[in-house]
Amino acid sequence: MATKKFDPLWEIVGEKIALQDVEPGVESPCPHCGVPLHLGPSVPKGRRVTCGLCGGVSEVVETGAGLALKREGRETQ
């Protein structure tokens, strides 16, 4: 039997979201609520992402430490 790569609950609503620890990438805390958000390996700088917990919208920025999320001119690491 094949291993699941996508979260089955997201697949119900038509979204292809990788299971935790399946897809490499960066974890960055949501600047609104602090929950860690997974940024995929090819997420472009400037993309707007929505937190699945609080619904806050943030922008992906590049910092000296790598990718991070920005809200209202402030950056998190």
The helix/strand/coil state of 12 is helix
In-domain check, residue 57: yes
CATH classification of the domain holding 42: 2.20.28.160
Q: Within a domain: residue 71?
A: yes
Q: Are strands 48-50 and 36-39 parallel, antiparallel or unpaired?
A: unpaired
Does the residue 62 lie in any domain? yes
How many Cβ atoms from other residues are within 10 Å of residue 7's Cβ?
15
Tell me the average pLDDT of the chain: 78
- Which pLDDT tens digit goes with each residue over 16-48? 776 766 556 778 899 999 998 888 777 888 889
Q: Please state the domain count of the chain.
A: 1
Mean pLDDT value across residues 39-59 = 86
Please check whether residue 40 lies inside any domain of the structure: yes
Does this model's pTM top 0.75? no
Give the structural domain span for 45: 25-75
